Chains A and B, each alone.
Chain A
Amino acid sequence: MARELSTGAAINEAIAIAMRSDPDVILMGEDVAGGGDRSKEGTEEMGGVLGTTRGLVGEFGMNRVRDTPIAEMGLIGTAVGAAATGLRPIAELMFMDFLGTSLDPLLNQAAKLRYMFGGKVKVPLTVRTVCGAGMQAAAQHSQSLYWMTTGIPGLKTVIPSSPADAKGLLLASIRDDDPVIFCEAKGILNQTGEVPEGDYEIPLGQANVVREGSDVSLVGFGATVGIAMKAAKALDGAGTSAEVLDLRSLSPLDEEAILATLEKTGRMVIIDESTPRCSIARDVAALCVDRGFDFLNAPVKCVTAPHTPVPFSSVLERAFLPSAQNVLDAVGEMG
């Protein structure tokens, strides 16, 4: 049975299922309980800054749901150490921008322990983190830094585009034996959709054709899948049949699915919320040129944010974010 849930609620459900099915799964982070339970009577827990983890401390208790100090390096580093010694932690990095204050344990420890130790350890860690613009949270709370974690061998990077995918991909991420950066795009957190009940996993590294088409491939992930779908509908009206591919996982990357849709349509637009340099968009474009050159009937187009910080004013923020119109323009430029 499926019912309508928000992405946030689907994430909450996935965490609860994972914690019920495996006593080694713990949740830690800033405000993941957030008061309640242990504080004065008449108070309630916050359940995270966006309320995503509300209710979990009540079910699983403070031994397994741990509020940490606002100390991202200590929080992530401790989670790495716990993962290497027998727990399966879910660590919440409140906003992906805080990679800045937490990077060493990810870059130099989690990503490398298994390799450096000659395969003799595993680090089954999931870092959940909110990324992307759209809440007027400005330059330090709106970045899409998945390109950074994707560029680090040893880490996996996953980004769902819908509530149902968020649940299945998060369960797979938690149960994966490698460190996974699980990106929760602000653009989809409040989006609702049908979510199956019960325990299910969506395998990491498999892209998903969310819409079949024959004339152009629109490749998105996270919040840009919605933009691609909107553009695809508009293109229908103009007699252009667009296929939409949701990458779901940036590392590992489903290269075969990208090449398959390119072979089918011969034209591709990649839509990426992050800034353009060293981006996923350009990485996918390079793949198309390198391995899919013979399929190409037009230049590969990248629709990304500009090479700027994220602005505050809603007018500026809208100008920063990729839009369906940008996608239509890119398709138009292909001729």
Chain B
Amino acid sequence: MDFTRDALLDVYRRMRTIRSFEEKLHELVGAGKIGGFMHLYAGQEAVAVGVCSQLTDDDQVGSTHRGHGHCIAKGVDVAAMMAELFGRTTGTNRGKGGSMHIADVEKGMLGANGIVGGGIPLVTGAALTAQVKGQPHVAVGFFGDGATNQGQFHESLTMASNWKLPAVYVCENNGFGEFTPTEFVVPVKDIADRAASYGMRAVIADGMDFFDVYEKAGEAIALARAGEGPTLLECKTYRFYGHYVGDATPYRNKEEAEDWIQNRDPLDLFESRATEAGIVDSDALRTVDGEVAERLRVAVESAESDPLPEPGEVLTDVYVRYE
């Protein structure tokens, strides 16, 4: 295992932050403290962190309605994210975006996206910018299995492959498009199969295994940076909560869900691999758990007391220049 102790602790910290952030939100939404639609990322942490821990702030990431994990993995400030969810002016989007639109372009987070598949052409455009300007950046699009049925997916991957854009398309196949099992609506066995029709390289990773995602994403990112064009990386994963907070998941098999949650938790898998390799011990990870919990406690506390926008702000930020 080619990781330093600090690197593994950093990876674990990001994964734990995502998990705890989502658990905290589940609680806060349940308590009626946060409004709006909320889609939780818990269960898929290995994908966001496996990919984003290899990116710089200049590499743009496009995300989905289930975007908190990508934001945290990309280094967006957790307190500002929490403030955004509370609709505060201190939020990442000054209270104008909410859960489905958290963005921080300075950190290379081109936004969560409320439209399924909507982020895919945006990152294709970010990759085009890098190519036209001759910059060494890559753009990474995260999307679910459901988005691969969208025209935006098909059109974007066609263009990216034609132009050999420095992009990586990461499909997080979590087995369900909203409430419908993927195999009911996707006519190919693996999403990766779809890449063949774009003449694009495709790889499948175990989306619960940070190390597998890290390795395969790393290759795809390196190829993109080297001008070798885009890759479709399918990560087989599972969302631990339902489609949104409040979804009772009657459509999923209880035993199957239990099996994923009990036996394939990406944080547990990471811990066994990392501790077996003797690079970190569980005590160090428990220390991280405590630090993360404290950081989130402070984030919620400040978000709850941060200022709300003035009603007049409904009118600002529509245009750069109003004539």
Contacts and interface: CB of A to CB of B under 8 A. Distances in A.
Interface of A: 24, 26, 63-64, 66, 68-69, 71, 73-87, 89, 101, 104-105, 108-109, 113-122, 153-154, 156, 176-178, 203-206, 249, 252, 254
Contacts of B60: 85
A68 B128 CA distance: 12
Interface stretch (B41-49, B107-115, B203-211, B279-287): B107-115
Contact of A178 (B103, B126, B321): B321
B322 interface: yes
Contacts of A154: 318-319
Contacts of A63: 131-132
Contact of B114 (A79, A108, A118): A108
Given A85-B110, A86-B129, A203-B323, A78 B91 contact: no
B95 A121 contact: no
B123 interface: yes
A77 B93 contact: no
18 contacts: A63-B131, A73-B151, A75-B159, A76-B121, A77-B122, A78-B125, A80-B121, A80-B125, A81-B62, A81-B125, A83-B125, A85-B110, A109-B118, A117-B105, A154-B319, A177-B320, A178-B319, A252-B323
B174 interface: no
Contact of A117 (B97, B118, B120, B155): B97
A108 B112 CA distance: 12
Contact of B320 (A87, A117, A178): A178
Contact of A116 (B101, B120, B162, B320): B101
A319 B54 CA distance: 62
Closest CB pairs A-B (n = 10): A81-B125, A77-B121, A74-B155, A205-B323, A118-B94, A81-B122, A119-B317, A71-B155, A82-B125, A177-B320
Contacts of B251: none
Interface residues of B, number: 51
B122 A71 contact: no
A73 B122 contact: no
Nearest to A67: B162
B179 interface: no
B105 A120 contact: yes
B96 A82 contact: no
Nearest to B130: A85
B319 A84 contact: no
Nearest to A249: B323
B323 A69 contact: no
Given A68-B159, A74-B159, A118-B95, A85 B320 contact: no
A81 B323 contact: no
A86 B92 CA distance: 20
Given A63-B132, A86-B133, A156-B319, A81 B121 contact: yes
Contacts of A204: 323
Contact of A74 (B91, B94, B96, B152): B152
B126 A85 contact: yes
Given A63-B132, A109-B118, A117-B111, A84 B125 contact: yes
Given A74-B156, A77-B120, A78-B156, A206 B93 contact: no
A121 to B, nearest CB: 5
A69 B123 CA distance: 17
B200 to A, nearest CB: 14
B278 to A, nearest CB: 42
B128 A82 contact: yes
A283 to B, nearest CB: 17
Contacts of B129: 81-82, 85-87
Most chain A Cβ neighbours within 10 Å, of B92, B121, B318: B121
Contacts of A254: 323
A81 B110 contact: yes
B126 A118 contact: no
Nearest to B113: A109
A205 B320 CA distance: 14
A75 B322 CA distance: 27
A80 B152 CA distance: 13
B173 interface: no
B97 to A, nearest CB: 4
Contacts of B131: 63
A66 B133 CA distance: 14
A108 B317 contact: no
Nearest to B320: A177
B158 A116 contact: no
B124 interface: yes
B316 interface: yes
Given A64-B132, A116-B103, A252 B317 contact: no
B223 to A, nearest CB: 20
